[in-house]
A and B are shown apart, each in its own frame.
Chain A
Amino acid sequence: MTLLELVDVTASYGPVRVLEGVSLSVPEGGAVGILGANGAGKTTTLRAISGVVRTTGVIRFDGDDIRGLRPDQVAARGIAHVPEGRGTLPNLTVRENLMVGAYLRKDRRELATDVDYLLDLFPNLAARISHNASAMSGGEQQMLAIARAFMAKPRLLILDEPSLGLAPSTAKNVYEAIRRLRRESGIAMLVVEQNANLAFSIVDTATVLETGRSVLTGTSAELKGRDEIRRAYLGG
């Protein structure tokens, strides 16, 4: 069953049109990657879903049209967005960041269980639970951002370049944790990633964007070695 579906979506920042027609779909429990060169519209596609930019076309989530909703309304539908550059709340503690993530939840009793689960998954956060997020390293902040999004118990997790600015070994750790989250929660994911190998380590299928258009969709096995992939990263 399709959880998220984009059909011919366009998006603009003021007069500048960034997306020219993006179509993709994420099945329930599936993990889909968005690949493409810088400026191809990967981040804008995620922002279109979250309602941050003005869009045309069809954006359907769980059968409902969600195009035109505000970001907080999109979140309330069950989509958690980890933005580019992490988007932690720097002057709040790690625990407070997690609690903000759980803002829309009503099941207060299960919150503690989920916090424990995430602290087990990200031991670095456990050690800094009462520190301000700003005092943490880039990798730890990325982990906190993912943990905060997960606290919302979303049905779809949107990740915008989780490896951005991280040392390769840290990026590997972050992806390890994302893989485990996916395995243990069965949550659907839509991942933008520059590093195709990292992306293919978690996604089943991927859509390739070129200058604001989706040009190719396929499974990881089909896509590896395709010209479009090479172009997307070498800029052809």
Chain B
Amino acid sequence: MSEPDTSEILVDGRGLAPPEPMEQVLAALGQLKPGQRVRFLIHRQPYPLYDILRRYRYRYETVAVADGSYEILISGP
């Protein structure tokens, strides 16, 4: 589990009905300060989100978690 960390905004979208997880993660990206990143927890591969991230040149890294969910680290363009 992640520690409270000011260099990171944590968005936990697990178990929420779409498109709430994406709404939350996009809102978090809007508040991102230079050097900060978003840690996004989600219960499935968010393929549509990747489209938006690529389009706006965010850098992201997806890690599959043992419980079947995914953790995506997103940093600014």
On whether the two chains bind one another, the answer is: no
